[in-house]
C-alpha cells in the first residue's frame, strides 16, 4: 500500500500546474473542467447530480489555493524512501503498478504540466506498445485527455471518455440527421437506459478503441522536430493548429481509426468518430466529413477508403511543408503558414 504522502505530493503538483495555467481556459471550459474535477474527486459518475452550494464553496477554496501556489514549484514524489522527479513516469510506475495503480505525467495543451494517478482496468500489448486502460482516477489536474502517450506506453483514460460522451449524448439524440440516428440506434434511447447503463458502457468501449487506434498511429507517425515546433508556440491558435494537423495525420493513417473502421466494416466505430469531432476538425474537414457521412449511410466502404487516402496525403503534405519551412525559415514562417491552413488556403 502506498503512503498517502505520495498522493498528496501528486495532488500538490496538480494544483501548482493549475495555478499557473487556469487562465488559459475560456470561462465556459474552465467551469466545465472544474465541475468534472469536483465530481471525480468525490468518485461521482457523470450522470450524478451535485449540490451547487457545495461546489461553489469548493471552487472558492480551489481559487484560494491557486493564489497561494502561483510562485510554487513542482516537487519530487517519494515512494519507499526513494524520490522521483515529477515527470519520471517510468520510474514511478515500476514501483506502483504492483498495487494496481498507474501514474501519468506529460505536457498538455499550452504546454501545461499534467499529472494523474489512476486504477488500471486492463492491460494490453499491441505493436510493441504497453496499453493501459485506466478506470477510476484518484488524483488529476484540471486538464484531461482521453488518450496520452509517453514513450512506448499508451494511457486510455476511461473516466475522461465517460464524461466526454455523456456531455454529448443528449445533444446527439436531439439532432435529426440520419448519421446520428443510425449510429445510436443500436444503443437505444438514453432516457430509457437502466443503471448500470450497459448501453453507455458499449459506447465507451467503442470510443476507447478510437482513442487507442489514434494514439498508436500518432506514435508511429511522430517526428521529434514537430514537438520542438509546438514548444515554441506562444499563440494558442498556432498550437491548436499544429496539434490538430498531427491528430489528422494519425486518424487518416493506416494505423488510425478510419482505416480500422474500413477494414472491420465497423459502422458504429466510424459513426462515433465523426460525431465526436471537435470544432477545429469540423471546420477544416467539412467536405470530407460530409462525404464520409454520405458513404457511411450507403455502406460504401470503398469510397470511405478513397476519402481516407486523399485526406492522409493532404495533411501529410502540410506536415512535411511545415517541417521544411521550419528548418529553412524558422518559427515565424511556420506561424504564417498555419494561419493559412486554418483558413483553408492550403491543400
Q: Quick one: which H or E segment has residue 144?
A: none
Owner of C-alpha cell 462525404: 291
Q: 24-54 pLDDT, tens per residue?
A: 888 998 999 999 999 999 999 999 999 999 9
Q: Quick one: which H or E segment has residue 344?
A: none
Rounded Cα distance, 160 and 158, in Å: 5
Is the separation of the CB atoms in 239 and 338 below 8 Å? no
- The three-state secondary structure class of 244 is helix
91 against 346, higher pLDDT? 91
Supply the pTM of this predicted model: 0.93
Q: 123-174 pLDDT, tens per residue?
A: 999 999 999 999 999 999 999 899 999 889 999 999 999 999 998 887 787 7
Q: Where exactly are the structural domains of the chain?
A: 4-157, 203-342
pLDDT of residue 307: 97
Report phi then psi at 275, rounded to 5: -65, -30
For residue 132 the three cell numbers come to 493501459
Radius of gyration of the chain (CA): 21
Q: What is the mean pLDDT of the chain?
A: 91
Total number of residues shown for the chain: 347
- Beta-carbon contacts of residue 282 (< 8 Å; ≥ 6 apart): 289
If you write DSSP's letter for every residue of 84-99 in order, what string do you get? E-TT-HHHHHHHHGGG
Amino acid at each position: 500500500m502506498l503512503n498517502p504522502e505520495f498522493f498528496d505530493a501528486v495532488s500538490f503538483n496538480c494544483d501548482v500546474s493549475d495555478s499557473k495555467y487556469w487562465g488559459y481556459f475560456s470561462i465556459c471550459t474552465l467551469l466545465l473542467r472544474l465541475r468534472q474535477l469536483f465530481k471525480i474527486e468525490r468518485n461521482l459518475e457523470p450522470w450524478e447530480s451535485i449540490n451547487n452550494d457545495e461546489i461553489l464553496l469548493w471552487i472558492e477554496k480551489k481559487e484560494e489555493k491557486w493564489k497561494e501556489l502561483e510562485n510554487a514549484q513542482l516537487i519530487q514524489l517519494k515512494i519507499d524512501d526513494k524520490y522521483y522527479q515529477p515527470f519520471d513516469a517510468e520510474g514511478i510506475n515500476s514501483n506502483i503498478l504492483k498495487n494496481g495503480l498507474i501514474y501519468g505525467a506529460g505536457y498538455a495543451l499550452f504546454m501545461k504540466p499534467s499529472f494523474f494517478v489512476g486504477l488500471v482496468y486492463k492491460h494490453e500489448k499491441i505493436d510493441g506498445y504497453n496499453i493501459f486502460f485506466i478506470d477510476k482516477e484518484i488524483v488529476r489536474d484540471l486538464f484531461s485527455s482521453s488518450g496520452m502517450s509517453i514513450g512506448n506506453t499508451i494511457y486510455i483514460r476511461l473516466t475522461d471518455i465517460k464524461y466526454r460522451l455523456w456531455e454529448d449524448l443528449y445533444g446527439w439524440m436531439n439532432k435529426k440527421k440520419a448519421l446520428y440516428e443510425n449510429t445510436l440506434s443500436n444503443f437505444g434511447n438514453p432516457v430509457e437506459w437502466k443503471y448500470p447503463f450497459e448501453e453507455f458502457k458499449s459506447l465507451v468501449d467503442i470510443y476507447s478503441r478510437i482513442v487507442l487506434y489514434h494514439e498508436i498511429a500518432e506514435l508511429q507517425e511522430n517526428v521529434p522536430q514537430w514537438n520542438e515546433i509546438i514548444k515554441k508556440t506562444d499563440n494558442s491558435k498556432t498550437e491548436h493548429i499544429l496539434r490538430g494537423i498531427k491528430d489528422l495525420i494519425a486518424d487518416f493513417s493506416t494505423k488510425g481509426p478510419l482505416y480500422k473502421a474500413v477494414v472491420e466494416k465497423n459502422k458504429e466505430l466510424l459513426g462515433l468518430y465523426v460525431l465526436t469531432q471537435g470544432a477545429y476538425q469540423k471546420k477544416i474537414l467539412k467536405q470530407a466529413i460530409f462525404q464520409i457521412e454520405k458513404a457511411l449511410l450507403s455502406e460504401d466502404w470503398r469510397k470511405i477508403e478513397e476519402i481516407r487516402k486523399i485526406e492522409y496525403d493532404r495533411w501529410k503534405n502540410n506536415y512535411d511543408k511545415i517541417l521544411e519551412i521550419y528548418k529553412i525559415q524558422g518559427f515565424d514562417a511556420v506561424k504564417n503558414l498555419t494561419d493559412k491552413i486554418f483558413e483553408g488556403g492550403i491543400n
